[in-house]
Amino acid sequence: MPDVLLANDADHVETWDDERPLVDALRTQGLSVASAVWGDPNVDWASARIVVLRYVFDYVGRRDEFCDWADGLTNVHNPARLIRWNSHKSYLRELESAGVATVPTEWLDAGAIGNLADVLDARGWNDVVVKPAIDNGARGTLRVTTKDLAPGRAHLDTLLKLGDVMIQPYIAATEGPGEHKLIHFDGTFSHAIREHPRLGGREFVMDRISRVDPEPEELALAQQVLAQIPESPLVYARVDVVMDEGVARLMELEVIEPVLFFTKAPGSAERMAEAIVARI
């Protein structure tokens, strides 16, 4: 087994361009590196010195299987408890209770009968996003307005048959200044990027992504979030933040499979490699 085993899904087991700087940085540190499909029973995961989760995007449809696999490893990072916690967006409720500014959310349990019009009326919202509580890449997210509720009703009904659902007001700043993704290694801020908005089925395009300097309020929010995690400092964490009318709000915390945009920030791969070496 190699020193470092990168866990990916079947579509990303071959090293992606943005991940190559990390592989190179680890090898510069004298470590052997390989990639494998998570859960593959033919891989001796326990024999690697460390297992690092990377592009395990397919866990969304196999969450229980994925979490059980991670629970069986003592050498996985980020730690297995965080994988189960972070893979369902109810972690946002916990962070909100701890005083973290999040986006207001109406939570609906799987199997519930949800009346979208009633939710919007009770909350005073007229422009919302409806999305599953287990998801990534905004694949199951739909923007809905009071001017055309029918698609939203159908989407909500479909999602509730499959799992828990979130309804949130649409944050206009995600289209203007944009959502900023603050990337940290070993608890220390490394770099931030602005990603092109992904709603409406827009695909991920690296060329649309630019590096940004976060606001002091965004940096402070990220540190507040990471301070709530008992396992901190983590090998890596991405804190997705938006400035909403002067308030820094947490959109998502990513500690499982975030793209870390190494190619946008020279030196960042070396910083993560150092965090991995520290764990070894």
**Helix and strand numbers, DSSP H then E, in the chain:** 8, 13
Mean pLDDT of 41-64: 95
What is the CB neighbour count within 10 angstroms for residue 148? 8
pLDDT single digits (tens) 101-151: 999 999 999 999 889 999 999 999 999 999 999 988 777 889 999 988 999
Instruction: Supply the mean pLDDT for the chain.
Output: 93
**What is the β-pairing status of strands 76-77 and 50-53?**
parallel
pLDDT single digits (tens) 208-267: 788 999 999 999 999 999 999 999 999 999 999 999 989 999 999 999 999 999 999 999
Provide the residue count of the chain.
280
Whole-structure pTM over 0.75, yes or no? yes
Residue type, 165: V
Mean pLDDT of 171-187: 90
Please enumerate in sequence order all residues whose Cβ is within 8 A of that of 134, keeping only pairs 6 or more positions apart, or say none. Answer: 60, 63, 87, 88, 89, 163, 164
Please, what sign has the CA dihedral across residues 209, 210, 215, 218?
A: positive
Residue type, 69: W
